[in-house]
């Protein structure tokens, strides 16, 4: 058989943001590939865009979410900047077949599964039908979308309450609602549809029986172009709040070995049925009798959780097989899963910033971190840094802390140590809550289930951390800026300079634009006059605390200064390391 070559990628665009994008950038950097970021106007100052080799803005007319779902703009950026491939990360467009089709039309490689696999497994309704055909158990419910509240009520009566409403194209806990009685159905059905439409651009919702207190187990799979499928074992994702993972661990050691093997076999069987290619995650629920039920598959290169089958240093978002080098290969048939130390444990936890306003608030304000100190000796990834602005529009994840050890207990001890040493000041976090979770005896025994948090109120007995540094800075700043001896000076009777507002100003900047850099410098060299730079505004701003000159004072004088000093070489303002305390 002829040699198989992998296309050489030189430039890869990451159609995502935050911690997800950062992990892909790091992988691309290790592979020697140029990384390209895209960002919404709200993310103009976000850290992730500065970690890419290049970054380009999305449509500023779009909202904070819609900007990242704007396929035409993303494709245009890719074509304008000679992109070879697009990596979607996970979330946003990662499971949108339209992006895959547009990539194919425009000669771009989509780093992910094929359109056929995505249509089959990315849609929860379709994936349930495939599971049935593959003889993989599913939760009792329906395999088609509900159109009306009346239809949903009729199905729920047959299945029996409680039931779970799920967005067909959902993920990450979005578009999911538990309905305990018929009286709740109308409200929950409408909210599930609205959330699905807003988050995924699709209002298809289906119903399945809600299992009480099961374990949530996920299996990472890898599949190539030749029908080979392997799994990277499992992880226990049962510790959830509002259907969002809080702390995970791999492997899912507390699930009976027989049940785990059946889950592995089911995941591989599903992938082979649809001819799956690429990385993916198959998700299952396991009831208290050890019965497993397929719930969904997340197609794409997610790699969101470290696996103990890898070295602790291998936590990048791309398998090493995606190297840009040509790889001579003869298709091999092998279904043997990779070996790993049987007692190894990986344990990621997710420090987040809790919501800062009630859910009814349409436009909550951002929060800003005062300082951060990362936890040493653990693998971590995130987009938090000193002075970071935590936007309310996106995932509230601040950082992901992953502990590794040869035993589950050892990984838990390292997680606790890392969480206690982590310092994020200036904003509220859930770190104290995470410490309570990992310390809990049920967690320590590996016996957590999906409703563990809501049924364990003592987890919310939180110890408030002291934030001495921020308090001292606030105190000193207030004393220096706002407190003065004697009567407080009055500053509002300032007199602004008068000038001809209709006069056209032609200054050094205009001359530079006209002559260009070389012509401008030659003009300066040829002249005998003294070139002057006025620094009044710079001095006023830098000595702000002493002079009491405020931002609005400087702005008030700026236009007049532009006219008066038009014959000067330049006017320096906002110089150096200045901090506006006005």
| Active centre residues (catalytic) | 245
The answer to whether residues 364 and 258 touch, using CB atoms and an 8 Å cutoff, is no
The sign one gets for the Cα dihedral 354, 359, 361, 363 is: positive
DSSP state of 406: S
Helix (H, G, I), strand (E, B) or coil at 42: helix
| Residues paired with residue 380 on neighbouring β-strands, in sequence order | 401
Helix (H, G, I), strand (E, B) or coil at 197: helix
d(CA 281, CA 13): 23
Residue 193 in tokens: 């549809």
The answer to whether residues 176 and 164 touch, using CB atoms and an 8 Å cutoff, is yes
Q: What is the helix (H) or strand (E) element at residue 419, kind and residue range? A: helix 408-421
| Residues in CB range of 150: below 8 A, 6 or more apart | none
Give the residue from 177, 263, 270 showing the smallest Cα distance to 217.
263
Output the CA torsion 478→481→482→488 (10° steps).
160
Give the residue from 21, 451, 425 showing the smallest Cα distance to 246.
451
Query: How many CB atoms are located within 10 Å of the residue 336 CB?
Result: 7
Helix (H, G, I), strand (E, B) or coil at 534: strand
d(CA 293, CA 137): 5
| Residues paired with residue 382 on neighbouring β-strands, in sequence order | 399
Question: Within 483-507, where are the H helices?
Answer: none
The answer to whether residues 49 and 39 touch, using CB atoms and an 8 Å cutoff, is yes
């Amino acid at each position: 058989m002829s040699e198989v070559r992998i296309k050489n990628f030189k430039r890869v665009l990451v159609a995502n943001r935050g911690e997800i994008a950062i992990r892909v950038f790091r992988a691309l950097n290790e592979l020697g590939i140029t990384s390209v970021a895209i960002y919404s106007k709200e993310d103009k100052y976000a850290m992730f865009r500065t970690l890419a080799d290049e970054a380009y803005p999305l449509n500023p007319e779009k909202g904070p979410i819609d900007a990242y779902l704007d396929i035409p703009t993303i494709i245009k950026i890719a074509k304008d900047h000679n992109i070879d491939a697009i990596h979607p990360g996970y979330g946003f467009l990662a499971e949108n077949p339209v992006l895959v089709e547009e990539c194919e039309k425009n000669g771009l490689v989509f780093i992910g599964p094929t359109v056929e696999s995505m249509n089959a497994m990315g849609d929860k309704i379709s994936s349930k039908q495939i599971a049935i055909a593959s003889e993989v158990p599913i939760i009792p419910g329906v395999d088609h979308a509900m159109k009306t509240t009346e239809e949903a009520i009729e199905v729920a009566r047959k299945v029996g309450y409680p039931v779970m409403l799920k967005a067909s194209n959902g993920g990450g806990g979005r578009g999911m609602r538990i309905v305990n009685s018929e009286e709740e159905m109308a409200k929950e059905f409408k909210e599930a549809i609205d959330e699905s439409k807003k988050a995924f651009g699709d209002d298809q919702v289906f119903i399945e029986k809600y299992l009480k207190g099961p374990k949530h187990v996920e299996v990472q799979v890898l599949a190539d172009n030749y029908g080979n499928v392997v799994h990277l074992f499992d992880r226990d994702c049962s510790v959830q709040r509002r259907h969002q993972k809080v702390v995970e661990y791999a492997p899912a050691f507390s699930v009976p070995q027989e049940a785990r093997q059946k889950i592995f076999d089911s995941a591989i069987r599903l992938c082979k049925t649809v001819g799956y290619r690429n990385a993916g995650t198959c998700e299952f629920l396991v009831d208290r009798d050890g019965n497993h039920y397929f719930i969904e598959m997340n197609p794409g290169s997610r790699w969101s959780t470290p696996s103990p089958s890898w070295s602790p240093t291998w936590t990048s978002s791309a398998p090493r097989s995606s190297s840009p080098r040509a790889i001579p290969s003869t298709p091999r048939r092998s279904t043997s899963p990779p070996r790993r130390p049987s007692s190894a444990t990986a344990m990621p936890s997710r420090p987040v910033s809790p919501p800062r306003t009630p859910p009814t608030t349409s436009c909550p304000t951002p929060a800003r971190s005062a300082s951060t100190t990362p936890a040493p000796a653990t693998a971590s990834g995130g987009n938090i840094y000193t002075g970071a602005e935590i936007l309310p529009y996106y995932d509230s994840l601040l950082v992901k802390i992953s502990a590794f050890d040869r035993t589950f207990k050892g990984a838990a001890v390292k997680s606790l140590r890392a969480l206690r040493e982590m310092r994020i000041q200036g904003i509220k976090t859930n770190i104290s809550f995470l410490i309570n979770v990992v310390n809990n005896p049920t967690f320590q025994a590996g016996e957590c289930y999906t409703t563990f948090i809501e049924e364990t109120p003592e987890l919310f007995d939180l110890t408030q951390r002291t934030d001495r540094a921020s308090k001292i800075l606030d105190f000193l700043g207030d004393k220096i800026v706002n407190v003065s001896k004697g009567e407080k000076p009055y500053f509002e009777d300032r007199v602004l300079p008068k000038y001809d507002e209709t006069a056209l100003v032609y200054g050094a900047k205009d001359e530079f634009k006209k002559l260009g850099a070389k012509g401008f410098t030659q003009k300066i060299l040829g002249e005998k006059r003294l070139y002057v730079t006025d620094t009044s505004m710079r001095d006023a701003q830098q000595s702000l605390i002493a002079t009491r000159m405020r931002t609005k004072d400087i702005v008030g004088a700026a236009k007049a200064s532009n006219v008066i000093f038009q014959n000067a070489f330049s006017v320096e303002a906002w110089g150096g390391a200045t901090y506006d305390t006005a």
